[in-house]
Structure 1
């Protein structure tokens, strides 16, 4: 059965018109598919070029056979991406080829400059093709390490762009649910490049108001998700708080070699601003992080409140160069870190239940919770990238749900081997 309920005809898709059945161009007729950019569990991402305009894009190619039984996940991802993409009057992506007779570019009703665009889709008997905006600037942490200078103001500007994009998503009723540095990409190699949010594989339309499915990436997931409580948009704000923390010191606010202990730390929501790493960071930055990483969901900032905070909207962010400290810690703690693993939070929650560690976040962390300098320096050595000891089915499910990080990059499951 076709994934989208359409009749397959090789790579041809037929569209009913007033004149009868009109044959639409196949992906091969419209694009030249080029070199491999990245691979994932059930997909690969390649460079592609529009045959008429020579404009380059990224195409995510999903294997239907590998996707069997998980079609809903891909359909959800496409539905979310289409919500944020500008469209032409005939449904094709804005800027995809020259305008045809009677064709116009619709205003970008839901498009946002910091959200990777889905431009059009194709389907044949064996594969689904997503034509995506090409993003070539690289991952967030890699760019910071490569920079010669980096300040609080730089971090503030990055987080402001993320907040604006996520606030826009929330206004449209979408929760990302997997915000993390690997999903924040620079649009181009230019020094002043904007940041882009990608990978909507776990995103969800907030139609019913609250969600309950445990998902996300360990280290960035909000306490209410781990506590298996109904949750909403606030989970994205927590994740932005974690990212903000890392951007200012180079190491995570919560860490433990054991995932159950890590989750117990997050449930308590206790973190520190360690000396000497935070000595030069402004009080405003610390207050901003506290407001985003608040365990009490009712007291946690919304994106709009975060955008109004002086560290984002004012001049509170310091201009002191912190590149040396931050880049050193990023290289130590994220080179081969398990934080780059893309496995389902539900896997570890099941482990916690078996170990009687679920719920109120009881203990387990022991002395590992302390934010000593030795803990920070040893984090990279301890993080061997080993996935949790859940079932193969658990890990396979999460890998399948990994979304469109491909837009010029590998998806999450591939980037862990970087």
Structure 2
């Protein structure tokens, strides 16, 4: 991965010597080059105008501080000034499709475009070499939003109002700049430092897009819990960011998402129904003004939903400093902690999975395609794909195959050409079976007993918990995941946790797009996507 490596002091001459041995990424070249195996001299260019091509001349990369689907974030030091930054290094091998490449290119362009703002992480520099893209940005070391809330002994409506004001101010500045964020969620907000007065900052513009007034979009992106109904209807504009902020507000006030189900289809249908529960604890204690704002932000009709400016003019936000300073109760704090830690437990497992999925090589894909294309038409249908996969020993559920077929059949002719087949092949490796979940489970099951015991769970989450609440949170996770109540987590229970609510396979952004694209089409066909009152 070039300069992505954890040891920034290593020389570059060695990597240059071994580089010719690397196999070509099929997306580094056009379809013909990929199909015939040529394109060895092709260099993938991602960024429009990077600062330079050798990050090591200006920065030292240090320890890893985070990991995502495409890249690893390192602590990074300016060689001349000694100032600390964060560097997100994205391996080009992981940019498997044109959509992936465009996402990274657009993320850098949007960060360059955004004005300096105290609640938006700022871009410092960008570099691109043969192996990776490096995005150097402001370092945020104050931790995640929910963790800070839980660490405070007293959590109130007033605190939630202050946080919501900041989040909606970020939405407003984005919209003023013609940027739709499209992926607002608690994990995408970090505190700049550990001081009590630290600003909260939006950190991730990976799914953001430029928009013009009145422009409508149809690409399904985002995180399921926070997705607005019009995204599922594939006809949306910047109003979706206010919806997502409304979901965050609901979670801030009661500790659980407003729209939840065991399956992704159930989540989608709950979002479409848009029924908000104000009965559970602590809603009876929450002010009418706060509930009014939640309703108006989670208005299913985007034309009637408040704009970011209107949210900031709402009495609950305007009078944030006068909002009730009465504790929302330990239940909400415990839920927020559990929500945060459960996400981290899933992410830890997904990180183990990602190491096994890291780079699907192109080798063998063309051979497999030719084997399935028995009539030598240059394309294969669903039956040929299914039969070919069975011959290769891969048993894929018909429903999953149909979803992938629909999602990757770009020209809609009911068959896959070679480039469409490459995309399917890449994703089949992620969804063929639960092999990767087994590997993640074994990572936690240190003594190989076949169970994750409470001590192993405690060890796995040791760096995520503070001493004061650790046992309470561990007990809460065990209570949730250990369904047979034998005091330990079996593989079946672990897999159930990983698949609950949102399928673990949506660790892949591209797979998520495909899955929800197909789900949206299904809900359109059965009439589920009509607005209430429509006929």
TM norm. shorter chain > 0.5: yes
Distance change in 2, residues 1:340/1:274 (3 Å): farther
Which one of the candidate residues 60, 63, 66 is aligned to 1:38?
Answer: 66
Which of 264, 273, 287 is 1:268 aligned to?
273
Q: Take 1:33 and 1:264, find their aligned partners in 2: how far apart are those partners?
A: 45
Does 1 or 2 have the higher relative contact order (CA < 8 Å, sep 6+)?
A: 1
- Between 272-281 and 297-306, the greater mean CA deviation after superposition: 272-281
Distance 1:197 1:6, change over 3 A: closer
Q: 1:242 to 1:118 in 2, by over 3 A?
A: same
* Alignment deviations for residues 193-236 of structure 1 (CA, whole Å, 9 cap, x no partner): 111112111101114711110111111100111122x1011100
Specify the alignment match of 1:309 in structure 2.
314
Q: Do residues 65 (structure 1) and 71 (structure 2) align?
A: no
Alpha carbons of structure 1 residues 196 and 398: separation in structure 2 relative to 1, 3 Å:
farther
The question of whether the paired residues in 2 share the 8 Å contact of 1:117 and 1:133 is answered with: yes
> Corresponding residue for 1:221?
227
Distance in 2 (alpha carbons) for counterparts of 1:379 and 1:225:
34
Give the aligned partner of residue 121 of structure 2. Answer: 116
Question: Counterpart of 1:236?
Answer: 241
User: For 2:297 and 2:92, how far apart are their aligned partners in 1?
Assistant: 39
- Correspondence list, 1:15-414, <5 A: 26-69=54-97, 70-84=100-114, 110-207=115-212, 209-228=215-234, 230-314=235-319, 317-337=323-343, 380-381=480-481, 384-386=497-499, 395=508, 397=510
- Classify the secondary structure of the residue corresponding to 2:126: strand
- Contact 2:155/2:329 (<8 A) preserved: yes
Is the Cα contact below 8 Å between 1:36 and 1:45 reproduced in 2? yes
Structure 1 pair 277–7 and aligned structure 2 pair: CA distance change class (3 A): closer
Q: Counterpart in 1 of 2:442? A: none
Q: 1:218 to 1:6 in 2, by over 3 A?
A: closer
Give the whole-Å Cα distance in 1 for the aligned partners of 2:318 and 2:52: 50
Aligned equivalents of 2:122, 2:230: Cα separation in 1:
30
Query: 1:155/1:394 Cα in 2 relative to 1: closer, same or farther (>3 Å)?
Result: closer
Q: 1:159 to 1:390 in 2, by over 3 A?
A: closer
In structure 1, runs of 5+ residues without a counterpart are 14-25, 85-109, 355-375, 402-418
Q: What CA distance in whole angstroms lies between the structure 2 residues aligned with 1:59 and 1:80?
A: 17
Where 1:219 maps in the other structure, the secondary structure is: helix
Q: Indicate the residue corresponding to 2:459 in structure 1.
A: none
Corresponding residue SS for 1:251: coil
2:39 matches 1:3: no
Structure 1 distance, partners of 2:323, 2:289, is 7
For residues 313 and 187 of structure 1, the distance between their equivalents in structure 2, rounded to whole angstroms, comes to 24
* Partners of 1:138 and 1:186 within 8 A in 2: yes
Q: Deviations over 1:278-327 (max 9, x none)?
A: 12111100001001000011110000000000110125521112252221
Identify if the C-alpha distance between structure 1 residues 340 and 236 changes in structure 2 by more than 3 Å, giving closer, same or farther.
Answer: farther
CA gap of 1:399–1:119, structure 2 versus 1, over 3 A, is: farther
Deviations 1:361-399 (A, max 9, x none): xxxxxxxxxxxxxxx999954871328898979936258
Identify unmatched segments of 5+ residues in structure 2: 1-42, 351-399, 408-475, 484-495, 515-535
Closer/same/farther in 2, CA of residues 5 and 297 from structure 1, 3 Å limit: closer
Question: Structure 1 300/389 Cα, relative in aligned 2: closer, same or farther at 3 Å?
Answer: closer
TM-score norm. by structure 2 comes to 0.57
Kept in 2, the 8 Å contact 1:332–1:379? The answer is no
Distance in structure 1 (CA, Å) of the matches to 2:346 and 2:312: 27
What do residues 223-257 of structure 1 show as CA deviations (whole Å, max 9, x unaligned)?
Answer: 111122x1011100000000000101111111111
Cα distance change, pair 296–307 in 1 and its aligned pair in 2 (3 A): same
Give how far 1:66 is off.
Answer: 2.0
Please say if residues 47 and 128 of structure 2, whose CA atoms lie closer than 8 Å, have aligned partners that are also in contact.
no
State the 1:5 CA deviation: 7.1
Mapped partners of 1:227, 1:339: distance in 2: 32
CA distance in 2, matches of 1:7, 1:252: 40
